[in-house]
């Protein structure tokens, strides 16, 4: 006589019947899902809240050290890569569900309700409906922040160098000097049969530098641009 194979699904169904009324179990699941949905809705609301919060009640021993950052470290990264560090309510598109799940887990772990969320990302994240490398933080207190989640696409590998001229005014002027020098060296040694002497080369350099500055100022004013150091935590300016 062949022994019938064990059907685990049937065993589970039998065990459920032995555990009590199915209606009671369904009611418990329904209540659990309702509470979870209410919590997720509250998190969505807190992410879009405009009320400032400077700290959250975390349990220190449960924090991951690798996710703790000081505002000075965040500021340096924002300036170097031309990023913004702004309130999460300025984010233009819905937050991914994985973000809500991560916050839900943290709130249960630390037995608290998080608020005052901050987002570090390029300006376009806050102005347009697209995203590149946004990182969500929650304030711990005393200018410390806890990294909750990162999503989206990574930044371009050359971004730090491409935005370097816009870091400060001195960086921009140095960039114009280098461009002017480069173009000066590329000029032909003779103009209309006249040999370029040192004075003419200096005048050419000064003219090119003035020209670069004029273009830079026009572009900056027309586009409403500002330096990285001035916009990293500002809601205004490009």
How confident is the model at residue 195, as a pLDDT?
Answer: 72
**Number of domains forming the structure of the chain:** 2
pTM of the model: 0.74
Whether 51 and 67 share a structural domain: yes
Tell me the average pLDDT across 172-179. Answer: 89
Decide if 39 is inside a domain: yes
How confident is the model at residue 134, as a pLDDT?
Answer: 87
Is residue 18 scored above 80 in pLDDT? no
CB 70: neighbour CB atoms within 10 A?
A: 13
pLDDT digits (tens, 9 = 90+) for 120-152: 888 877 766 555 678 999 999 999 999 999 987
Decide if 1 is inside a domain: no
Tell me the average pLDDT across 79-91. Answer: 91
Last residue of a domain, one of 158, 185, 218: 158
Which residue range(s) make up the domain with 177? 163-231
How confident is the model at residue 34, as a pLDDT?
Answer: 61
Binned at pLDDT 50, 70 and 90, residue 117 comes out as very high
Q: Between 46 and 12, whose confidence is greater?
A: 46
Cα gap 133→81, rounded to integer Å: 12
Decide if 3 is inside a domain: no
Whether 177 and 224 share a structural domain: yes
pLDDT digits (tens, 9 = 90+) for 28-70: 656 655 667 788 888 999 999 888 888 999 999 999 989 999 9
């Amino acid at each position: 006589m062949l022994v019938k194979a064990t059907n685990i699904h049937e065993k589970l169904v039998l065990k459920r019947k032995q555990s009590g009324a199915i209606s009671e179990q369904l009611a418990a699941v329904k209540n659990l899902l309702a509470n979870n949905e209410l919590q997720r809705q509250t998190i969505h609301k807190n992410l879009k809240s405009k009320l400032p919060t400077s700290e959250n009640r975390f349990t220190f021993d449960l924090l991951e050290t690798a996710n703790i950052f000081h505002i000075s470290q965040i500021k340096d990264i924002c300036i170097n890569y031309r990023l913004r560090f702004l309130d999460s309510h300025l984010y233009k598109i819905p937050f991914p569900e994985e973000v809500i799940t991560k916050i839900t887990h943290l709130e249960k772990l630390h037995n608290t309700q998080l608020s005052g969320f901050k987002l570090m990302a390029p300006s376009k994240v806050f102005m347009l409906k697209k995203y590149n490398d946004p990182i969500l933080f929650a304030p711990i207190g005393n200018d410390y922040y806890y990294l909750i989640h990162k999503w989206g696409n990574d930044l371009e590998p050359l971004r730090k160098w491409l935005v370097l001229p816009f870091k400060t005014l001195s960086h921009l002027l140095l960039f114009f000097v280098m461009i002017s020098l480069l173009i000066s060296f590329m000029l032909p040694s003779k103009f209309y049969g006249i040999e370029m002497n040192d004075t003419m080369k200096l005048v050419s350099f000064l003219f090119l530098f003035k020209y670069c500055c004029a273009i830079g100022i026009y572009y900056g004013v027309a586009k409403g641009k500002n330096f990285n150091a001035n916009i990293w935590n500002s809601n205004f300016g490009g």
